[in-house]
Amino acid sequence: MQLYPEVTAPLRLGRLSLKNRIYFAPMGLDMADECGGMSEELARFYRGVIDGGCGMVVLGNSSIDPSTRLHERGLCLYDDDHARKLEPLLSYGASRNCPVVIQLQHYGAQGGSRFTGMPLLAPSAPKKYPPRASGEYRTWRIMDVHDIAAVRRQFANAARLAQSAGAAMIQLQASNGYLLGSFLSPYTNRREDAYGGSALRRARFLLEVVGDIHDATRGGIDVTVRLGVDDCLGPEGQEPHLLGGVVRALERVGVAAIMCSMSIRETFHYLIHPTLAMRRRLIEGVQHIRAHTSLPVGFAGFTASMEQAESLLADRTADLIGMTRAIFADNDLVAKSLAGRQSAVEACHFDGNCFRDKANPALDRVYCCVNPKYKRPEHIRYA
């Protein structure tokens, strides 16, 4: 008898056929080389995840332009060299029947300017300005139509590079408060031009980016959207009930799937700490989105085991389930569970410390407290 019939039921995602419905959701590990290219260390990490049995891997965010960065060793995809360095990993995934998706990212006002010296781009004046890291020059600019046109070109260029490198699919990061998500949210977008006002007008920029990518790639690569369904700010911010028309518009412009996430910088603690209330809120948000579209809907957030994934699929909350930290803690979680070796899975503690590593100047990358392959150094302690 098949142990996980829902997880192993075939799924068509755009042009892809997935061998199972678990994907490794994006995790920026800050292990790119000094030019923002795929390093051997980072490729080795992803090969381990690919070999661990999940149906698809979404790489951590790739910055689409040198003017938008967050970490010195974050991945980038804006020139031929970046694309060339991605090729071996993309073909490794294809050869193992585990498609590798590239997530394209513009950090917007949540970026850093330490490495760029450039103003941060925002749809409107940020209400809350994130604290400045030491030595960081920081200023922001409300995007005018020229900025919007320039960023559209950057997304199209990055998508063309992803296609040329052999990416299985592109994911646009339109969640978690970054640029595309900040246009969608009433908390960060208070524009009075054609890019603000109603939910659909706030989605105009994202819809244009999708169209530009289809043009630049001649429709040769599918595009998915990681959609921020809830800023966790209540009525002041993005909420699932505002997004029905946006999801239908994304379907009309040919997006292949919607992958949900929640929270923005001010509320990241909700994404990182799995309280029962927050898990419920995310799940209800995903269910609301799914009710508005016939596209496959996925989400990542607090799924710890294949049993949980199986039940989320069985109750039709989503069509595919992302796991980030659980697969980080044990790259072989899927393969072990499918083989009936659930008790051998090393369980994630969901303490959020891997997320804290990203902002820890004493560390060179993101670590884990469980996985022996990248155990956090002993002397690093969080309160």
Report the interface residues with ligand FMN, using CB under 6 A: 25-28, 60-61, 103, 173, 176, 226, 261, 271, 300-303, 323-326, 354-355, 358, 366
- Smallest separation (angstroms) from ligand FMN to the CB of 322: 6
- Smallest separation (angstroms) from ligand FMN to the CB of 29: 7
Q: How many CB atoms lie within 10 A of CB 315?
A: 11
Q: Are 36 and 84 in contact (CB under 8 A)?
A: no
Nearer to ligand FMN, 248 or 358 (CB): 358
Question: Tokens at residue 321, please?
Answer: 């389930």
Element (H, E) at 299: strand 297-300
Nearer to ligand FMN, 68 or 303 (CB): 303
Nearer to ligand FMN, 191 or 226 (CB): 226
- Smallest separation (angstroms) from ligand FMN to the CB of 61: 4
- Smallest separation (angstroms) from ligand FMN to the CB of 158: 15
Question: Tokens at residue 77, please?
Answer: 């995809």
Instruction: Select from 305, 353, 358 the least CA-distant residue to 333.
Output: 305
Nearer to ligand FMN, 177 or 296 (CB): 177
Nearer to ligand FMN, 51 or 351 (CB): 351
Which residue pairs, CB below 8 angstroms and at least 24 apart, start in 85-90? 85/33, 85/37, 85/38, 86/37, 86/38, 86/162, 86/165, 86/166, 86/167, 87/165, 87/166, 88/43, 89/38, 89/43, 89/46, 89/47, 90/165, 90/166, 90/167, 90/168
- Smallest separation (angstroms) from ligand FMN to the CB of 302: 5
Q: Are 159 and 213 in contact (CB under 8 A)?
A: yes
Q: Are 122 and 106 in contact (CB under 8 A)?
A: no
Nearer to ligand FMN, 22 or 199 (CB): 22
Q: Partners of 12 in the beta sheet?
A: 17
Q: How far apart are CA 4 and CA 340, in angstroms?
A: 10
- Smallest separation (angstroms) from ligand FMN to the CB of 261: 5
Question: Tokens at residue 201, please?
Answer: 């007008």
- Smallest separation (angstroms) from ligand FMN to the CB of 294: 24
Nearer to ligand FMN, 191 or 256 (CB): 256
For 12, the 3-state DSSP assignment is: strand
Would you give the distance in Å from CA 85 to the centre of its chain? 20
- Smallest separation (angstroms) from ligand FMN to the CB of 145: 27
Q: How far apart are CA 36 and CA 346, in angstroms?
A: 31
Nearer to ligand FMN, 28 or 123 (CB): 28
Nearer to ligand FMN, 28 or 55 (CB): 28
- Smallest separation (angstroms) from ligand FMN to the CB of 357: 7
Q: Are 14 and 256 in contact (CB under 8 A)?
A: yes
Nearer to ligand FMN, 106 or 325 (CB): 325
- Smallest separation (angstroms) from ligand FMN to the CB of 109: 16
CA triplet 186, 189, 193: central angle to 5 degrees? 120
Q: Partners of 169 in the beta sheet?
A: 101
For 303, the 3-state DSSP assignment is: coil
